[in-house]
Amino acid sequence: MGEATKLLVRARAGNRCEYCHSHQDDEPFFRFQVEHIIAKQHGGGDEDTNLALACPHCNLHKGPNLAGLDPFGDALTPLFNPREQRWEEDFAHRGPLIMGQTAVGRATVRVLNMNDRIRLELRVSVQARTS
């Protein structure tokens, strides 16, 4: 993947993780990564429609996963795809928490462990600084 593609993905995302919406400026010591929405292991390519910007936390937990179980009913559910779905439809902020609004959102929050204690502490400190 070339540098131009990485720059495009970063700019398109507005320097935000496309999963948890954390901003690069809030985590200056951890460079956000360009990740494959469909992992190469599953046949995903380097085209920009298969790429997203992700913070290291989301990228690490997503790994090559494509799906998760919806905590309400345990249905196998595809993970959120930032190229095909709108964040606001699948997720909502409630204080520092990220709430899944749909099966896709709930499965993604769970697999990416978006409300892990460290992530909540980060969001609390960012909210305190910006409000």
Distances (CA, A) of 121 to 38, 84, 115, 125, 126: 30, 30, 9, 6, 9
Amino acid (1-letter code) at residue 121? E
What part of residues 69-128 is at the interface with Zn ion (CB under 5 A)? none
Task: Name the residue among 57, 66, 42 with its Cα closest to residue 122.
Answer: 57
- Establish if 13 lies at the interface with Zn ion (CB under 5 A): no
Of positions 9, 13, 37, 58, contacts Zn ion by CB under 5 A: 58
Q: Which one of 56-64, 83-91, 103-111, 120-128 is the stretch in contact with Zn ion (CB under 5 A)?
A: 56-64
Indicate the DSSP class of residue 30. Answer: S
CB of 115 to Zn ion, least distance (A): 12
Which positions lie near Zn ion, rule CB under 5 A? 17, 19-20, 55, 58
